[in-house]
Structure 1
Amino acid sequence: MSLDDLNREQKRSLRRMGALDEQGKPTRAQRTATAKNARTTPPQYLREVRDEMRKVAWPTRDEVVRYSIVVVCTVIVYAALVSGLDFGFGFLSEWLYG
C-alpha cells in the first residue's frame, strides 16, 4: 500500500501520530528502550488484585440462578437431540445392515 492509496483523513491521522512529516513523507520514529520494571512484591500483587476485583460488575444471585437454569435447560435439550439422532441412526443402520 502506498501513500497514494490513503485518503486525506488517513494522512492527517498519520501526521498527528508522527508517522508522516509535513511534506507527507513517512518518518521513522526512534524506538525508546523500555526500562525493566522492578519485580512486584506479593503484598503489592494482592493489593492490585483486590483493587481490580472491586471493579468487577458481579451478577446478582437472581441473575446467576436465571443463567444457570438457561444453561441446564440448553444442555438437556442438546443432549436429548444428540441422543435422539444417535438412536435414529442406530436404528436405521440396524435396519439397513442387520
Structure 2
Amino acid sequence: MAMNREQRRLLKKQGELNEQGEPVRQPRGQQQRGPAPKSERVGPRQFVGEVRGELRKVAWPSRTEVANYSVVVFLGIVVLTALIAGLDYVLGEAVLELFAR
C-alpha cells in the first residue's frame, strides 16, 4: 500500500509501523482498541436532572425575536407561494396555447 510521509509518521506514532516502516503484527487477542463503552444506565431521576441542566445552557430567543422570525417566515411562505402559483398559471396557459386548445 502506498503511503505518504505524513501517513507513515502517524502510523509510527500510533505504534502500527516499526522504524523500518513495516507493519507491526500483534497477536489477535492483543489488538489495540479504544476504551470500552460504558454499559451502565442511569436512573430516570438522574436523566431528567441532566436534561434540565443541559436545557438551562441553551440560549433561548426572546419573545420579540420569536415574533420577528415568525413574521419573516410567514412573508417568505406567502412570496414563494405567489411565485409558484404565478409560474403554474403562466406555464399552464403556455402549454394550452401550444396545443391550441
TM-score (norm 1): 0.70
Change in CA separation of 1:37 and 1:72 when aligned onto 2, cut-off 3 Å: same
State the percentage of identical aligned residues. Answer: 44
**Structure 1 runs (4+) greater than 4 angstroms displaced:** 9-29
Unaligned ranges ≥5, structure 1: none
Higher deviation after alignment, 28-37 or 15-24: 15-24
1:57 counterpart residue number: 59
TM-score (norm 2): 0.68
Unaligned ranges ≥5, structure 2: none
Per-residue deviation, 1:24: 8.8
2:91 counterpart residue number: 89
CA RMSD of aligned residues (A): 2.7
Residues in 1 aligned to 2:93 and 2:47: alpha-carbon distance in whole angstroms: 59
How many matched pairs? 95
Residues in 1 aligned to 2:83 and 2:17: alpha-carbon distance in whole angstroms: 59
Deviations 1:19-78 (A, max 9, x none): 888999888982244153311111111001000000000000010000000000000000
2:33 counterpart residue number: 31
Q: 1:71 aligns with which of 66, 70, 73?
A: 73
